Structure formats: structure tokens, C-alpha cells
Amino acid sequence: MNGILAFKLILTPLLVLICMLITRRWGAFVGGVAAGLPVVSGPLSFFLTLEQGVTFSAHASYSTLLGIDANGLAAVAYPWLAVLGVPWYLAIALSLGIYFLGGWLVQFFPYWPWAAFALSLLSPLLVLVCLPRPGMPATVPQQRSHWWLIAVQMAFGSLLVYAVTEIAHWLGAGWSGVLMFFPVMICAMVPFIHATQGAWAVVRIYRGLMAGWFGCIAFAAIVMALVEHTPLWFCYVLATAAALGASACVTLVQKRKKAA
């Protein structure tokens, strides 16, 4: 239990910090790709498997695929709210409300694993289509960062993960899986980007996040299919490799498309 608690309180803010530093060094799109990877949902899935068993984990991973669809609704809402001039604190509150509404709706979806997988693949594609089109040059001048704000976001991310995992532990596989894809990185990074770099930087980071989401989809799908039938180490190593490979492939495709 101490190891799990340390993960919740220490590793998550470090991952948030790494993603923010990546964003500062290589821009909003690359930072979004890093934040979209299963850096939170992956370890949480592993710990849920250890604590609740492989059957619970398989059903939770199925619900995670549905949670991606719920998160897709929020991923469309926040950039549009930002572009329309809504301040970051209202935009994040409204988009989280949409996420929870979507999470409640997907609970009524029947157990169709292949359909859930197909819908999860469709979700980031639809988000990319629905994102606002820049009405200004693609490069937005970076404003000076405030490190105290980064510290606040790191603490927020850590407390958020702790609270969500403690609640998910008692809610069963359905809501546990949905909450496994709770937009922790979005809550930690996007308001900061919105406040310091503006609305169009938010649009760019969401484009990167969608590339990372394909990695999350690959991770959840492999865990759903294999966790009950293969050794845990093999299942999670394969899922991690698939997540990295899927995100890398999508990122290369988007970069080549942009260059063309």
C-alpha cells in the first residue's frame, strides 16, 4: 500500500512536470503527445490488476475504451470554449462536467468489446475534425511561464489522481475504467497553457493529445484482451510497447501531412 501511495503522490506530479518541460522545449503539439500517453492510466491499470484481479482489470479496460469516448466530448468542448473567449477556470469546469455526463451515458452501453474498440478509435479522429481551425498564424508567441503556477498544477494533478483512484477502488469495474481515463494531464496542463499562451495553443496541444490517445487505446485494448490469458509482465510490456508505437506512428503521419 505504501508503494501505491508513493506512486499517487510522487510519480504523477513528476510526470506532469516532465510533460510541461517537454511542452516548453518542443511546443504544444509534442507536449500534447507526451501528455496523451497512458502515463497515468497505465500504472493505474496495473495496480488495479494487482488489487482487484485480472477479471476486474479486463472489464475496467473495456470501460476505459468507453471512457475515451466520454473524454472526446470534453476534448471538443474545451478548445471551442477557449477560442470563444471563455476563461480557463470556466472552460475546465464545463468540460469536466461534459466528461462526467459522457461517462454516465457510456455506462448504458452493452458489453461489445469490438464495438467499444472501434468507437474508441473513432473518437480522436472525430475530435481532430471538430477542433477549431486556426484563424491566426500557426505560431503563437510564448509568454513567460510562472513556476508557481506549474507547482500548483503539479499538486493538483497529484491530489486528483489520489482522489480519483481512491473513489474508483469502490465503484466497480465500470466507473473505475472510465475514471482510469480521467483527464488528469488535461486538468494539469491545459489551463496552464491556456493562461500563458492563449486559446490557439490549446488547440495545438489537443491535436497532440489525440496522437497520444491512440497509444492509450492500444494499451487498454491489449490489457482487455490479454490480461486474463497471459502473464502480467508480458501483457503490460506488450501494452506499453503498443502504446508507444501507436503514438509514434500517428505523430509521424501528422508531421508528414503538415510538411506536405
**Confidence (pLDDT) at 41:** 81
Is the distance from CB of 64 to CB of 41 less than 8 angstroms?
yes
pLDDT at 142 over 50: no
What distance in Å separates the CA atoms of residue 8 and residue 15, rounded to the nearest whole number? 11
Lowest-pLDDT range of 64-78, 100-114, 132-146, 215-229? 132-146
- 31-63: per-residue pLDDT in tens? 767 766 787 788 878 888 888 889 999 999 999
Residue 240 CA to its chain's centroid (Å) = 15
The better pLDDT of the pair 82, 147 is held by 82
User: Per-residue DSSP letters for 101-124?
Assistant: HHHHHHTTS---HHHHHHHHHHHH
**Confidence (pLDDT) at 116:** 94
Lowest-pLDDT range of 82-91, 185-194, 217-226? 185-194
**Confidence (pLDDT) at 97:** 94
Q: Tell me which range, 5-9, 213-217, 226-230, is most confidently predicted by mean pLDDT.
A: 226-230
Question: What 8-state DSSP symbol labels residue 37?
Answer: S
The better pLDDT of the pair 94, 25 is held by 94
**Confidence (pLDDT) at 176:** 87
pLDDT bin (cut points 50, 70, 90) of residue 4 is low
Across residues 204-224, what is the average pLDDT? Answer: 89
| Mean confidence (pLDDT) of the chain | 82
**Confidence (pLDDT) at 143:** 45
pLDDT at 27 over 80: no
First to last CA, the chain: 51
**Confidence (pLDDT) at 260:** 62
What's the Cα-to-Cα distance from 74 to each of 130, 197, 229, rounded to whole Å?
12, 20, 34
What distance in Å separates the CA atoms of residue 70 and residue 211, rounded to the nearest whole number? 17
What distance in Å separates the CA atoms of residue 165 and residue 161, rounded to the nearest whole number? 6
**Confidence (pLDDT) at 8:** 65
Q: Tell me which range, 137-146, 188-197, 224-233, is most confidently predicted by mean pLDDT.
A: 224-233
pLDDT bin (cut points 50, 70, 90) of residue 218 is very high
Is the distance from CB of 40 to CB of 184 less than 8 angstroms?
yes
